């Protein structure tokens, strides 16, 4: 589906979308629980729906109550085939949980997920007594347990998602476990994982993100799980306001473990006006200036902050490009291709992206996001400061994380 975004000013108020990252972790906790879990304020993104389908494959009954989701106790036999869609988190997180079972289970992916590595999974699972096979380090992955406890070493440089799965699964086995992690990326996501696990009554000892001590024989239970609002999705609208107007977003938790809340500090450093209270955050356009930031632990902020940098006169520097190569696309290369021009230039030097920006409008263009939801959203925001608009190809890819993105954008825009 093609979507045309015209030059516009923005003004208004929206509710932040629910976090698919919290939602998927809540589903994992519910699957591991003995009883019923009610998930309030759920995300119904494609990634979240894939995780809910996996809950059904685990034999759970899932009830959609409109403003909540109930995952009931295990009723049916476990299915041997899980479809994770394009969700890297679902594939890497649910593999260790599936490995708790005696039966053989295959976790599959589709489209972009088929090209995302899972080579870090095989050896640690085998060391925990699991039979494990992949397609030369790529999906699908087949596991057969039951997984045991023990001491293992894992590489966390590509993704923290497999560690998240181990942290969920290992507290339920009969013996204690120790996980040693080398070069852990995306540490805030591990904070989120441990926070969610704690809400289900399970404890994990984190020793400086290098060693995790896990007691066995723990039980999961959480009658009501509230999904946090999503800082990552909200970041696109904060940037939209910084370059094209003003917006108020409600529902975000200023004390959240989500690393993407660093967007507020970054916008302040770039010169945007920020006003915040316990319930709302308002961002408004002011004279912008270039900024420098390291996004190694928060790579999902790359697309919106590249758009911000395009309209900051001078050179902005963003570190963490290497983290973009194992996402839904090679985001660094796509950002370079889709947003560079004679007036505004993107340059990649090893792990650094330099953005030479200015306050001029962008020329009209067609954005091909390569089915990457965050590239599509970035293109839509950049279009607000264009001469005659952008055409966003396959715009429905935003459904992966933020199905109501364009609806929210339409609510707050007024054409120039």
Phi and psi, residue 369, nearest 5°? -80, 0
Dihedral sign computed on CA atoms, order 390, 287, 283, 337: positive
Tell me the two tokens of residue 334. 């796509």
Q: Which two tokens stand for residue 350?
A: 């090893």
Choose among 350, 25, 11: nearest CA to 189.
25
Residues 6 or more apart whose CB falls under 8 angstroms from that of 68 comprise 38, 39, 40, 41, 42
130 close to 147: Cβ distance less than 8 angstroms: yes
Tell me the pairing of strands 104-108 and 138-144. Answer: antiparallel
Catalytic residue check, 260: no
Q: Calculate the alpha carbon distances from 295 to 182, 267, 289, 319, 351 in Å.
A: 19, 14, 18, 6, 10
**Active-site hit among 111, 300, 330, 410:** 300
CA distance 269 to 260: 15
CA pair distance 68, 173, nearest whole angstrom: 30
Q: Where are the alpha helices (DSSP H) in 41-85?
A: 46-57
The CB density around residue 138, as the number of other CB atoms within 10 Å, is 15
Residue tagged 């590489």 (tokens): 155
Kindly give, in sequence order, each residue whose CB lies less than 8 Å from that of residue 186, ignoring residues fewer than 6 positions away: 159, 160, 259, 297, 298, 299, 323
Determine how β-strand 81-83 pairs with β-strand 104-108: parallel
Active site residues: 300
């Amino acid at each position: 589906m093609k979507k045309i975004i015209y030059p516009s000013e923005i003004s208004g108020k929206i509710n932040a979308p629910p976090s698919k990252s919290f939602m998927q972790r809540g589903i994992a906790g519910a699957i591991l629980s003995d009883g019923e879990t009610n998930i309030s304020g759920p995300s119904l993104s494609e990634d979240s729906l894939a995780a809910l389908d996996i809950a059904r494959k685990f034999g759970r009954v899932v009830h959609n109550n409109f403003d909540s989701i109930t995952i009931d106790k295990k009723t049916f036999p476990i299915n041997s085939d899980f479809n994770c869609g394009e969700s890297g988190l679902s594939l890497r997180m649910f593999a260790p949980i599936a490995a708790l079972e005696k039966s053989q289970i295959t976790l599959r992916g589709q489209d972009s997920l088929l090209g995302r590595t899972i080579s870090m999974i095989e050896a640690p699972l085998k060391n925990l007594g699991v039979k494990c096979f992949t397609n030369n380090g790529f999906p699908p992955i087949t596991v057969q347990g039951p997984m045991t406890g023990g001491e293992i070493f894992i590489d966390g440089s590509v993704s923290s998602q497999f560690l998240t799965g181990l942290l969920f699964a290992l507290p339920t086995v009969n013996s204690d476990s120790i996980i040693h992690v080398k070069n852990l990326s995306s540490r805030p996501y591990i904070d989120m994982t441990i926070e969610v696990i704690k809400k289900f009554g399970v404890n994990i000892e984190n020793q400086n993100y290098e060693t995790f001590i896990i007691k066995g024989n723990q039980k999961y239970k959480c009658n009501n799980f509230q999904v946090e609002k999503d800082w990552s999705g909200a970041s696109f609208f904060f940037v939209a306001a910084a370059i094209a107007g003003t917006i108020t977003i409600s529902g975000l938790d200023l004390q959240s473990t989500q690393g993407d809340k660093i967007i507020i500090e970054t916008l302040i450093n770039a010169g945007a006006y920020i006003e915040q209270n316990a319930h709302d955050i308002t961002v408004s356009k002011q004279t912008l200036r270039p900024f420098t930031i390291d996004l190694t632990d928060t790579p999902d902020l790359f697309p919106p902050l590249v758009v911000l940098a395009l309209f900051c006169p001078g050179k902005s520097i963003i570190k963490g490009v290497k983290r973009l190569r194992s996402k839904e696309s090679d985001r660094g290369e796509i950002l370079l291709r889709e947003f560079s021009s004679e007036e505004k230039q993107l340059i990649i030097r090893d792990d650094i992206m330099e953005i030479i920006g200015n306050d001029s409008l962008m020329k009209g263009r067609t954005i091909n996001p390569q089915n990457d939801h965050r590239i599509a959203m970035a293109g839509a925001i950049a279009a607000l400061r264009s001469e005659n608009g952008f055409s966003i190809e396959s715009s429905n890819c935003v459904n992966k994380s933020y199905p109501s993105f364009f609806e929210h954008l339409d609510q707050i825009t007024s054409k120039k």
